[in-house]
Each structure stands twice: as C-alpha cells, then as structure tokens.
Structure 1
Amino acid sequence: MSDVAVTWAKAQECVDANGRRDRNAKDVLKTLAAWADASGEVWASVPVLAMECDASERTIQRGLRALKGMRLLHDTGKQKLYLGRLYPIYQMPLEEGHASTVRRMKAEREARSWGDTCVTPRPDLGVTQASPQDVTGVTPRGDMGVTQIGKEITQGLKPTSSACARKAACEAWASKAPERVAPRPVERAWLSAIERSGLSDDRLLASVLAAVARDPDFGRGKAMNLDRWLDDGRYEAWLPIEPVEPVAMAAGVWAGPAEVAVMVAQAMGPDAVTSYLAQARWDGVRRMVQVATGMALERLSDGAGRALKAAGIGVERMAAGGARHG
C-alpha cells in the first residue's frame, strides 16, 4: 500500500468527456490506489475490487474503462501471475494532476482569485471600484474572451477550423466509445499528428470518420482512446489513396462544402457523391443537405448520417413547396 497513491487518488477529478462527474470511477480509483506501490504500479482482481467497493463486477469493469479514458489509469502491457491466473498491471500517473486534496483546493482558490468570480476590491484597498454607483459586487467575466456569466457565448470569438474538426472527431468517436475520448489529450495528439504528417484537418477528420464507420473494433468494444489512436498513427490506414476533395469537386457534382463530399465518400465510397449529391442543394444557414429523392435521403441517412450529424450537418428532402425533413 502506498500513502502517496491513495492521497493522489483522493485529489483527482473524475470527469468524463461530456463534463459529467463519475463517482463510480472515483470509488474504483481510490480503492485501487490502496493496492498500489510507491511508484503507482498496481494490480488487483475485479472480484476483490467489487467486494471492497460494494458494487457489481460489471460496475468495476465500467469504472476501469472510464479511468483509462480519463487518463488516470494506464495499461502497462505487463501481467501478474497469481494463483494460476494472470492479472493486468496498471500504472497510475502520480506525476500528473494534483498531488493532494490540499494542493487541489489551493490551486482552485488561486484560479478563482483571478477576478472573474471574486468580490471587487474597495477604494480603501487602493483599487478602483467596478462601477461608479458601487452596484457591482462581483467582477463580470468576459474581459479576455471568456464566457460571460449565465451566457454560453464568447466575446465575438469564433472557433478555428482546426477546433471544429477536432470537435467533430471527438463527437463521432464518442458516439460509439464515449469513454475513449478525452478532449485535452485529443487536442495535443491532434496537433501533433497534423505537424508530424502534414495532413490537413479535413483529411485527418475524414480518416477518423471512416474508422468510426467501418472499424470492427468499435462493434467488439475494443476501440482505442482517440488520442492514442492519433499518436500511434492509426489514421494512416483510413486515409484514401488520393484526396477525396479534388475527385469530388472536379466533376462539378456538388456545389456545397467539400467536407460534405469527403464524409460521404469516406463513409459510402466516391460513387455515392455522384449518385446522391449530384442534384442536391446546400443550405448554408441551416447547414443542411437537401436531396432530390426519397431514395437519396434514405441512403445518405443510413450510410453517412452518423458522420454528418457529428459534424453538425443534417439531411432532408426537397419538396415542391420547400424541403421536408428526413
């Protein structure tokens, strides 16, 4: 047992990709830490963890998967032989995160004291009041482009195309393996992959969408963490031999954004661009593909609907008096 590992585990924040706190994962982490050595290396059987957490074995397994997705537990690839059975050996990243609850509380207090939620200093402290009428008891957020209090908006700043591509990739991956997506590690791995490979954000996104749509590992519950998938260069196997955009756009069959043609071609093949987008229209305001026939609506929805939805793009059928939603 390592007091260092236990203290570290108690201080960590277990939050999934959607920002929700996972109490089950936190319980598993604290219980597992009681078995760790001073370096954070640990092994334990699922039945033992289930008994100590007073939970089912399935709940423990779900908690272990969540911890791996949060990067709070790493597979070492090593195994422990005990009573004729092999158990996986995990590594807790003790050098990352908060070392203790006290340090975490101190860090959070310092973050809050930056001014976006703290009481405005008074004149007797030598600082100008927030308003001449002295009606502002709290300094409003937003002076540096940060989200304003009570509003999910920013100070006129729009996300970059790279950020939009990363978000679409995370949403697509999370649609099948939500526990395998951690936005901050994905951002680091994404930028590293772009720099290392020289690919555009659109092409890297296309490879992610293709893997989500066709990789059998997702169906078997063996999907990798998206950031590790990027770090290992797994996207190379899902890239088209030739860029899809020039092929799709040179034929003049689609007047909308190239990313739509890329996603359709990746999910259904290049011929689908000609077959289903040739007579389609693009509604840029609503980000909607408007197809001419019911068959095109059905085929696009079944074949590329998940990828398009992840990118915030819808599909509907044009009607005589307008468009009909599919």
Structure 2
Amino acid sequence: MSDVAVAWAKAQECVDENGRKDRNAKQTLVHLASYVDVTGVGWAAVPVLALEMDVSERSVQRGLRTLEAGGLIAKTGASHKYMGRLLPFYALALDTGHANTSRRMRAEAAARGDRVSPQGRAAGDTVSPQDPPPGDRVSPGDVAFVTPPGDTGVTQIGKGITQGLKPSASVRASEAAGKAWAAKAPERVAPKRVEPSWLAAVERSRESDERLLSAVRACVARDPDFGRGKAMNLDRWLDEDRFMAWLPDDGALAQAPVVSGWAGPAHIRAAVLEAMGEAGVASYLNRASWDDRLGAIVAETKIGAQRLMDGAGSALKALGVSVIAKGAAHG
C-alpha cells in the first residue's frame, strides 16, 4: 500500500457526469488507492472492494467508470489473473489534483479569499485533531502532518517497527528499491511491508543502504524470474536474505552479482544456457557445484534447485543429470 496514494485519493473531489459530488466514486478511489504501489499502479478485485466498502459489486463498477471518466484513474493495459478472472491494472493520476487534504484545504481557503496562517488554516478556524500544533515542523511530504519537534531528517517507522526512528537515508533507499522493483513487478511491492523489512535487512546484514540498493537493481536487471512473471514480493526477498547473492564486490556498486562461474561439465552449461539464457546460468548454475559421483548439480539453495528444474529440467533429464540442493548430497 502507498500512503502517498491514499492521502492523494482522500483529497480528490469526485463528481458524476452531472457535476454532482459522487460519494460512491470517492470511496472506491480511496479503497483502490490502498492497493497500489509506490508508482500509483495496482489492481483490486471488485468483490473485495465491494466487501470492504459494504456496497454491491455494481456500485464498485459504477464508481470505477466514474473515476475513469473523470481522469482520476486509467487502465494501464496490463492485467492480473485472480480467482479465474483477469483484473486490469489501474494507474492513479497522482500528478493531478491536490497532494493531500491539507493542501486542498489551503487552496480552497485561498480561493475564497480567506487569510491563511502559516500552518495552513484560515484565520479563526479551530484546530482539528489532525492539524499540526503551532510551532511544530510540517514534514516535507505533507502526508504525515508533523514530525516531532527537534528531529531532523527522520520520520516515525510504520506499524511494523514502532519503537525506533528510521534514518532518512534508509527511507530514500527503501523507496528507490520499491520503484526499481515496481518497474518490472508492481504487484510485488507493498511499501508498508518493504520499509521495516529494509531496515531489518540493513541491521541484520550490516550492509549499507547503497550496497543493498545495488543488489536490488542487479536482481531486477538480471534475474530471469522477472521476465517469467515469477518475481518475489520485495519484502519477502529482503526477509529471506535473497539479496546476499546479488551484492556487488567491495569497492564498486555493480549491477550484476559476482559469481565464480560454472566449474562442472561444459555440456551441462550449454543445456542450461539454451533453456534459460545467460541470466539463468548467472543466477542459478554459476552458484551451483558439480557432484561427479552422483552426476548431479548441487544448488546452493532449495529455491535455486527448483528454479533450475523449472527452467531446464527436461534438458537436464535428457542428459541423465539430476538437481539437488546443497546438503542433500550428504543427507
């Protein structure tokens, strides 16, 4: 979910074809926004939206048509299969309208000719619970209304980790990672889950944000799973330390993983190359070893073994070669 998209959706004015305010369309927009990624693109099943909104599916479909007609959402042309149905990806028009409710209130007050205070309220207005108290610094994005006084360059962590503060460098790196991942697999990015996973991965691995971001970009560029539509959720990829295989050499933020190359028989490499391409060899075969006694490829991980079987299983079987995970040869 993108907090920026939800804040944007709440600030938009949704009207029907006659120019009347359409509460159903507004509710549809806000709920749809809770499913998009950092780029404002996402999909959602109509029955799910109807259940969450407590309305009929027809009402949701009518709301989506109104939003499309008003230019607030647009189909991207991509689709996602869910429970036997092809669901379109929608792109929210985040670059139009007001960024959030605070900015809309200021703009409307200015349009009325009201005198606006530095905090964004018309003079004489009472302070609502969500308005920033006088003297507090407004956060740069105006999404979370205030940052604690005296803090610089930090923002509160989300619900996943509630007791600490997240450095701004990690915030920026996490957002950049999400954008890189979403370029090929937007449905696999959930910013609220990515941010705590990112922070935990940095702390656990002792790697810098820059090196971890380099690993993300290298994976997006080279992992064949992205081309086959089998990319993992970014937060899970971080939680399972999948980034370790894609970290660059010390001294350079490379865009590809550092591997030693396949040390086994050349004809096996040729078979995997034909079936999975150079990316498949680099991602999975080059990290595996060869067990001549068993006549088997020994993959570093179970997932690596599974990827080799999925991509080149038939070719390897024809050669009499099996694929096992590390540890299985002696277990």
TM-score normalised according to structure 2 size: 0.37
TM-score normalised according to structure 1 size: 0.38
